[in-house]
Amino acid sequence: MAKLAINGGTPIRTTLFPAYNTIGEEEKQAVAKVLDSGNLSQYLGAWTDDFFGGPTVRAFENAWKEQLGCKHAISVNSNTSGLFAAMGAIGIQPGDEVIVSPYSMSASAIAPLVYGGIPIFADIDPVTFCMDPVSIEANITPRTKAILIVHIMGHPADMTRIMQLAKQHNLRVIEDCAQAPMGKYKNQYVGTFGDIGIFSLNYHKHIHTGEGGVMVTNDDALAFRCQMIRNHAENIVGPTETADLTNMIGYNYRMTEVEAAIGIEQLKKLPSLLKQRLENVTFFDEQLAQFPALKLQPKQPEGNVHCYYTYPIVFDKTIAGIERNAFVAALNAELPSAILRETAPLIGCGYVKPLYLAPIYQQKAAWAFKPELYPHEVSYAKGLCPVAESMHFEQLFSHEYMRPGMTKADMQDVIDAIAKIFENKDELR
């Protein structure tokens, strides 16, 4: 008789796990206040006081600024918009190279292409899954203009070495902090090391406003360029007598008063949500240590905060005696694979397919690749980033069972399911 659920046995658990829902009474009241005002967005795409948005948008930006201790916070309608605006603000032009990560959400690599820049993929570190500074350095050419780093899964990237490289080669640094709100590296918030940091407020993130994003910077000139790109720059450059018109074609990346009202309340909840998440991470760290085939990320040094957007585990198939994919499929069968807030499974093999393998890169399907704009070779061939590929296709899996709202008993079910699979692994061979 089979014991494992994947082979017809009884699963460890069939009832859904608690939904992750950060929205409550506070957000409802804040939104009601905005609705009562009748003013859902006060932006004007012209050089007036309303160029910077309405009162709630400004209050939200102030709150974010205070939280991170930075000079400027610029709300946008998504992290993706923020990444695009950042590329524009730092002056990316056709032929410029930007070093990006192959192991991130697609927007963090595609952003340079919007301005004709060429994404150059650096491989990741096998422990942090952030870009490896050794690979970044190996990819620097005379055409490199910027490094777009990602604090992936909430793990802070090696900012000391990245900032050293940037200084040495005169490069801009953009930090994609979508997965690391209030993450820290050496006691400093991520997003405040580089020229611009960008946070996401989409539905999947630690806190959210449905859709939304925030850019942070300490540079006055860059802040204004971001604000112009956010809101119809072409109307602003004249009245403000802006000298440098590079990339000063504006978009509409504006956040509404409604999202800003939600964002203010969400930001207040972030410290406690992160604390609960990290307490759950400690539970998993302790419990999973009993399984020698599961390699966990090491404890963070004092002063660092890893935000654990997802909880990554490197699966050692030699020790396990079974393949990762068989293990993950078995685990999914033992547990309900979705929670109410999400339709996506809570557990998956790897994270995302290394980005350069996507058709847009394989076919170089962007105007930026035209030989008259970029008369150089760039490879997106399979094998380009061996660590990212090995992690994705063979070794890594990640779960989200450490979300706030999970009780000890809920998490214990996950541990029991893993123990059950290892006890009965002969069924998977």
Ligand X SMILES: *Cc1c(COP(=O)(O)O)cnc(C)c1O
Binding residues (CB under 6 A) for ligand X: these are 78-80, 104-105, 107-108, 150, 176, 178-179, 200, 202, 213
Instruction: Give 183 or 213: the residue with its C-beta nearer to ligand X.
Output: 213
CA contacts within 13 A on the Cβ side of 394 = 9
CA distance 204 to 20: 10
Instruction: Give 77 or 144: the residue with its C-beta nearer to ligand X.
Output: 77
CA distance 149 to 194: 9
Q: What angle do CA 402, 19, 271 make, to 5 degrees?
A: 55
Closest CA to 49 of 250, 227, 198, 229: 227
CA distance 50 to 349: 47
Q: How far is the CB of 353 from ligand X (least distance, A)?
A: 15
DSSP-assigned letter for residue 301? P
Q: How far is the CB of 352 from ligand X (least distance, A)?
A: 9
Residue carrying the six token digits 């927007």 = 107
| Beta bridge mates, 173 | 147
Instruction: Give 183 or 293: the residue with its C-beta nearer to ligand X.
Output: 183
Instruction: Give 172 or 420: the residue with its C-beta nearer to ligand X.
Output: 172
* Phi, then psi, of 99 in degrees rounded to 5: -85, 125
Q: How far is the CB of 159 from ligand X (least distance, A)?
A: 16
CA distance 353 to 331: 21
Q: How far is the CB of 251 from ligand X (least distance, A)?
A: 13
CA distance 272 to 363: 45
What does each C-alpha distance from 242 to 67, 115, 181, 215 come to in angstroms?
Answer: 31, 20, 33, 21
Identify the helix (H) or strand (E) that includes residue 321.
none
Q: How far is the CB of 265 from ligand X (least distance, A)?
A: 18
Q: What is the DSSP secondary-structure string of 138-169?
A: HT--TTEEEEEEE-GGGPPP-HHHHHHHHHHH
Q: In what order do the strands lie in the sheet with 118-121?
A: 72-76, 213-217, 196-200, 172-176, 144-150, 97-100, 118-121
Q: How far is the CB of 106 from ligand X (least distance, A)?
A: 8
Show the tokens assigned to 317: 């198939």
Taking the C-alpha atoms of 116, 152, 379 and 83 in order, what is their torsion angle to the nearest 10 degrees? Answer: 0
Q: How far is the CB of 104 from ligand X (least distance, A)?
A: 5
Q: How far is the CB of 80 from ligand X (least distance, A)?
A: 3
Q: How far is the CB of 403 from ligand X (least distance, A)?
A: 15
CA distance 43 to 349: 43
Instruction: Give 85 or 294: the residue with its C-beta nearer to ligand X.
Output: 85
